[in-house]
């Protein structure tokens, strides 16, 4: 893994943890997520940043790690950035619950292997 890729993974990990911290501040509540634009916007901004970082990971790194859904992560970034009124927040909530913890594990394992 290149130094650039490891730096990018570090930032991805930071944003994933920010998603979890933000969710904890709102009691990990789906109802609060549905009610609070501040909560939804904070999560979406982190997801947008993660998508940006994925777009600059090296192709070799992404090819070496095909189990990560790189294209879907980038697609979500594009939806958040360009079609804000069309975001399905149920999907965003599911990503917070299921995909973000997996990405934390992935990034942590990759960084610990250095």
Choosing from 5, 70, 77, 99, which is the catalytic residue? Answer: 77
Residue 9 burial (C-beta neighbours within 10 Å; 0-12, 13-18, 19+)? buried
Q: Say if residues 76 and 51 touch (Cβ distance below 8 Å).
A: yes
- What pLDDT digit, counting tens, does each position of 48-73 carry? 999 999 999 999 999 999 999 999 99
What share of the chain has pLDDT > 90, as a percent? Answer: 86
pTM of the predicted protein model: 0.93
77 is catalytic: yes
**What's the pLDDT at 81?**
84
- Domain ranges in the chain? 3-112
Choosing from 66, 82, 86, 88, which is the catalytic residue? Answer: 82
17 is catalytic: no
């Amino acid at each position: 893994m290149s130094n650039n890729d490891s730096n990018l993974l570090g930032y991805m990990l930071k944003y994933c943890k920010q998603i979890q911290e933000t969710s904890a501040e709102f009691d990990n509540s789906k109802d609060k997520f549905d009610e609070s634009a501040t909560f939804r916007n904070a999560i979406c901004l982190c997801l947008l940043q993660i998508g940006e970082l994925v777009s600059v990971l090296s192709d070799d790194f992404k090819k070496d790690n095909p189990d990560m859904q790189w294209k879907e992560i980038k697609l979500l970034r594009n939806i958040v950035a360009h079609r804000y009124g069309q975001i399905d927040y149920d999907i965003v909530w599911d990503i917070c619950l299921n995909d973000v913890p997996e990405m934390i594990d992935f990034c942590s394992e990759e960084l610990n292997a250095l």
